[in-house]
């Protein structure tokens, strides 16, 4: 075990009380005794290695979701055993500061007491009913109060389900077939979305998937993000057949790429003019970049929105919702069929409610923005100090860095970055106790429990690993 290992008990005081977030982070900063990470030490992954060998026998590729494979950064997956606050611990008892955060679900950090208590209480009442329960009503009311564009909502089990159902609804409502998406955006793994998609597909260098019928991909138009000319042209040619634009309002699945104001205006204008629906896929940005998601930051009222991750407090939940006159078409009120044995599951609702209520009551987004900004500024400064061109993109709670001297405004730009250097730096970060998403084409997630001391530790590790990575390549 390397010197990235830390005694779990050292951090317990950080989030086990009702202290304000500021007090919590201050107490955590005092609690980091003994943690040294500037110098890398090879970590031992013996147990992870053995589990991976077993996993490969019965699980394709040894993992249940491709991006966990760590292939693009040249290592085997690390098997995790437990997590607490901002930390995650692997099977070999190596400790990491976690910037994956279950790919965005853990905005309050791991094992937040409110979420844990809610799950513990709910589990004693049974794990699933297959019948309506109070928590479903409460979460629907809460969601509609937090996201002004949402008048009605349907709970599902994942972000994929939310996006897949939203486009079915859009097609039914508009009686049109075509869907516009953007290169590098990822809306889950439903057939219609696996066209020039980001996330795991981008990481593995595949733009679509065998098994998706060509007839179906012809109904998806994928355009470069931020390209208003291409968007206008597509609508000029096919506007009468376009059911919806589905977009990540801040692209997170190609690394982070922010939309230009012109791009947002163009999308909203074209939808208004042609009757196509605007679907904001806020699975990543929802309740994270602002209480009301990216749509709040951008002052946009999409017709439909999709959510996941934060909405479930770490349990499998998704949701889609929006205008009442559209949502009323969903069965059983309308005829658009969409269902789920475990939808609105009482455990998942309890976890999601606890997490969302905590966010609503404590409004931690300003601090989340501050701590993300501190990390971003630090990385930029390190790049300048070491004369390595880096572009850092960040919004509250999300950050990614690209090794390039050009601003990244679309997926093609992200693909031109130095992904080999990214992989080297990633390995250096792991050796220094930082668990960063193992792909250039993913966002890192900062939680409200990451303290300033955690950020300083991360920056020290980043500097060490960038120095090492660039020295080796010289």
Ligand X SMILES: Cc1ncc(COP(=O)(O)O)c(C=O)c1O
In the complex, which residues of this chain contact ligand X (CB under 6 A)?
103, 158-160, 163, 186-188, 199, 248, 252-253, 281, 283-284, 308, 318
Catalytic residue among 96, 99, 186, 280: 186
Give the residue with the Cβ less far from ligand X, 45 or 182: 182
Minimum CB separation of residue 253 from ligand X in Å reads 5
**Angle (deg, nearest 10), helices 452-473 and 365-385:** 30
Catalytic annotation present for 196: no
**Residue 99 annotated among the catalytic residues of the structure:** no
Q: Is 433 helix (H, G, I), strand (E, B) or coil?
A: coil
Choosing from 28, 196, 309, 424, which is the catalytic residue?
A: 309
C-alpha to C-alpha distance for 20 and 27, rounded to whole angstroms: 11
Angle at 408 between CA 101 and CA 381, to 5 degrees: 70
Other Cβ atoms closer than 10 A to 393: 22
Two structure tokens written together for 35: 């943690």
What torsion, rounded to 10 degrees, do the Cα atoms 324, 326, 331, 335 define? 140
Residue 310 Cβ vs ligand X, minimum distance, rounded to whole Å: 11
Q: Which residue is nearest to ligand X (CB)?
A: 159
Q: And the tokens for 186? A: 């990822």
Locate 458 and state its tokens: 């991360």
Any idea what DSSP says for residue 300? -
CA 99, distance to chain mean position in Å, is 11
CB of 319 to ligand X, least distance (A): 11
Label residue 111 left, alpha or beta by phi (over 0 means left) and psi (-120 to 50 means alpha).
left
- How far is the C-alpha of 185 from the C-alpha of 189, rounded, in Å? 11
Task: Give residues with Cβ within 8 angstroms of 266, minimum separation 6.
Answer: 228, 231, 232
From 281, 410, 418, 454, the catalytic residue? 281
Q: Is residue 305 within a helix (H) or strand (E), and if so which, with residue range?
A: strand 304-307
Closest CA to 168 of 188, 142, 196: 188
Least gap, CB of 251 to ligand X (angstroms): 9
Output 89 or 182, the one with its CB closest to ligand X.
Answer: 182
Q: Tell me which residue has tokens 């494979």.
A: 69
Catalytic: 281?
Answer: yes
Closer residue to ligand X, CB minimum distance, 281 or 431: 281
Comparing CB distances to ligand X, the nearer of 266 and 284 is: 284
* Residues marked as catalytic: 186, 281, 309
């Amino acid at each position: 075990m390397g010197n990235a290992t830390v005694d779990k008990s050292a951090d317990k005081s950080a989030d086990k009380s009702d202290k304000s977030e500021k007090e919590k982070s201050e107490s955590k900063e005092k609690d980091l005794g003994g943690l040294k990470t500037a110098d890398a030490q090879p970590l031992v992954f013996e147990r992870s290695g053995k589990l991976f060998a077993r996993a490969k026998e019965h699980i394709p590729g040894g993992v249940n979701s491709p991006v966990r494979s760590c292939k693009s950064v040249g290592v085997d997956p690390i098997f995790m055993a437990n997590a607490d606050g901002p930390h995650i611990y692997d099977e070999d008892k190596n400790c990491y500061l976690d910037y994956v955060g279950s790919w965005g679900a853990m905005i309050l950090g791991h094992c937040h007491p409110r979420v844990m208590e809610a799950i513990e209480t709910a589990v004693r009442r049974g794990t699933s009913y297959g019948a309506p329960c109070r928590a479903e009503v409460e979460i629907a009311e809460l969601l509609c109060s937090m996201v002004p564009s949402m008048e009605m909502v349907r709970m599902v089990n994942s972000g994929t389900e939310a996006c897949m159902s939203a486009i079915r609804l859009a097609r039914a409502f508009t009686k049109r077939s075509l869907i516009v998406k953007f290169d590098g955006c990822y809306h889950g793994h439903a057939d219609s979305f696996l066209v020039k998609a980001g996330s795991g597909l981008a990481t593995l260098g595949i733009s679509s998937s065998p098994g998706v019928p060509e007839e179906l991909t012809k109904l998806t138009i994928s355009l470069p993000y931020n390209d208003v000319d291409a968007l206008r042209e597509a609508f000029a040619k096919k506007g009468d057949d376009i059911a919806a634009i589905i977009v990540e309002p801040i692209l997170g699945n190609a690394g982070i790429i922010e939309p230009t104001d012109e791009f947002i205006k163009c999308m909203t204008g074209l939808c208004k003019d042609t009757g196509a629906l605007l679907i904001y896929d806020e699975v990543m940005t929802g309740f994270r970049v602002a209480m009301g998601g990216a749509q709040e930051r951008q002052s946009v009222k999409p017709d439909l929105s999709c959510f996941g991750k934060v909405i479930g407090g770490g349990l499998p939940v998704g949701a889609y919702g929006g205008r009442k006159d559209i949502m009323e078409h969903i069965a059983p009120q309308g005829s658009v069929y969409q269902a789920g044995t475990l939808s609105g599951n009482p455990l998942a609702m309890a976890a999601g409610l606890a997490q969302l209520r905590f966010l609503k009551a404590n409004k931690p987004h300003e601090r989340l923005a501050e701590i993300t900004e501190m990390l971003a500024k630090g990385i930029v400064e390190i790049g300048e100090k070491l004369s390595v061109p880096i572009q850092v993109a960040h919004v509250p709670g999300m950050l990614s860095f690209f090794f390039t001297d050009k601003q990244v405004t679309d997926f093609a730009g992200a693909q031109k970055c130095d992904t080999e250097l990214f992989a080297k730096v990633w390995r250096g970060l792991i050796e220094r106790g930082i668990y960063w998403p193992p792909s250039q084409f993913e966002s890192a997630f900062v939680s409200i429990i990451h303290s300033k001391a955690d950020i300083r530790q991360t920056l020290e590790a980043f500097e060490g690993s960038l120095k090492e990575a660039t020295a080796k390549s010289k």
